[in-house]
Amino acid sequence: MQGIRPRSLSNTELIQYCALHLELADDRTKDGQPLGNGMPLEWQIELLRRYIALAPVETHAYPQDGQLDLFK
């Protein structure tokens, strides 16, 4: 997938590509060092940009019993 730009993909294609890289992110060498196969930063930024575009502007928290309000 070298040379493919995240902005040129549909939402479904972007999600599938990101899911592939999430699986690779935990790959390690025999001595436990990470291989660095995680999702490229450019792809992370595009995924976040699209999520923000789809997220509702007005959100309301639904606190659970006993939960403290952090923003009072």
Range(s) of the domain holding residue 14 = 6-54
Residue 17 included in any domain: yes
Task: Say how many domains are in the chain.
Answer: 1
Closest CA to 46 of 1, 8, 3, 19: 8
Q: What does the pLDDT average to over 2-20?
A: 84
Q: How far apart are CA 64 and CA 14, in angstroms?
A: 34
Q: Which residue has the higher pLDDT, 39 or 12?
A: 12
Over residues 24-69, the pLDDT tens digits come to: 656 677 777 766 666 778 888 898 888 888 877 676 667 777 777 7
Residue 39 included in any domain: yes
